[in-house]
Amino acid sequence: MRRGLLITFEGSEGCGKSTQVERLAARLKKQGTPVLVTREPGGTAIGEQIRHLLKFAPESAAMTPETELLLFEASRAQLVRELIEPALANGQTVICDRFFDSTTVYQGVARRLPSEVVEQLNRFAVGNAIPDITFVVDLDAATARARMLRRVRPAGNRDRMEQEPQEFYERVAEAYRELAKHEPQRVILIDGSPSADQVEAEIWAAVESKIATRESQI
């Protein structure tokens, strides 16, 4: 059985990546590719509990950056072993809404935790599950923030991460652009400002080209 592709989506809150995750999954399924869609933090029963703790639990107001880092990695370690690795081994294409690049960017750059610690923990959490393609949906921080604030939540509240100041999100957006520059063979920067249809078409072209390259290597 040929190992499946691991495709991850990254970007600031409000950049439109979750819409693109759904659209890509729908396109792949339509052409008969088995697909698993998941997200971070979360995706497993343990991970969803960690997600709640990280984003919404009242106790999380007192969370230190170090604890935050370890909780994201714990959720990831569980997700990789429980869902991602078995799916890839089974030939499924896995699409993950955020993965280890989020930790590099948010905890490493925006929270300023030591990058070598973040890198080591990322490696420990993912093992062999390195993405084949990572899309960074790039949107300027002000537009992304405005979109994020318009998003309706049942309680109308922002989560803990969304309460960070604008400057935090500027660091996030810039760090993603840097990442794309440093790893151009894996990380594709996509302009998130055109219509969702245009963004979808650009992403699809990149995925098709990746699939064609893989097939030519058989």
Strands across the sheet with 187-191, in order?
35-39, 93-97, 6-10, 133-138, 187-191
Residues 97 and 42: their CA atoms lie apart, in Å, by 10
Residue 174 neighbours by CB distance under 10 Å:
14
175 lies in the site for ligand TMP, by CB under 6 A: no
Least distance (Å) between residue 151 CB and ligand TMP: 9
Binding-residue pattern over the window 5 to 34 for ligand TMP, x denoting contact by CB under 6 A: --------x---------------------
180 strand-pairing partners = none
Single out the residue of 6, 8, 38, 40 in contact with ligand TMP (rule: CB under 6 A). 40
Helix (H, G, I), strand (E, B) or coil at 11: coil
In the complex, the smallest distance separating the C-beta of residue 164 from ligand TMP, rounded to whole angstroms, is 8
Choose which of 41, 108, 131, 192 interacts with ligand TMP (CB under 6 A): 41
Q: What is the size of the binding site for ligand TMP (CB under 6 A)?
A: 11
161 binds ligand TMP per the rule CB under 6 A = yes
Q: What is the CA radius of gyration of the chain?
A: 17
Kindly state whether residue 93 participates in binding ligand TMP, applying the rule CB under 6 A.
no
Q: Minimum distance from CB of 161 to ligand TMP (Å)?
A: 3
Listed in sequence order, the DSSP H helices in the chain are 17-30, 45-55, 65-79, 85-89, 100-102, 115-126, 141-150, 166-182, 196-216
Q: Which residues bind ligand TMP (CB under 6 A)?
A: 13, 39-41, 72, 98, 102-103, 106-107, 161
